[in-house]
């Protein structure tokens, strides 16, 4: 998988999970803090898969 594919997969998974989060935890209310939620979800998923983000 190349970097674009990894990021696309992470974004798709985050979007799906965030939809559940908004419905189940926020009662259907739009999450104004969605960028932070996505970042945390994606960082956690990357770490669980053994990826690290490093400066080049």
Q: Distance between CA atoms of 42 and 11, rounded to whole angstroms?
A: 7
Name, in order, each residue with C-beta under 8 angstroms of 28's C-beta and a sequence gap of 6 or more: 22
pLDDT single digits (tens) 2-47:
999 999 999 999 999 999 999 999 999 999 999 999 999 999 999 9
Residue spans of alpha helices (H) in the chain: 3-24, 34-48
Evaluate if pTM is beyond 0.75. yes
Which helix (DSSP H) or strand (DSSP E) does residue 52 occupy?
none
Q: Distance between CA atoms of 34 and 28, rounded to whole angstroms?
A: 13
Helix axes 34-48, 3-24, angle to 10 degrees: 120
């Amino acid at each position: 998988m190349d970097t674009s594919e990894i990021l696309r997969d992470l974004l798709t998974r985050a979007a799906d999970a965030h939809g559940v989060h908004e419905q189940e935890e926020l009662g259907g209310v739009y999450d104004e803090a969605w960028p932070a939620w996505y970042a945390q979800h994606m960082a956690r998923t990357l770490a669980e898969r053994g990826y690290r983000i490093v400066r080049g």
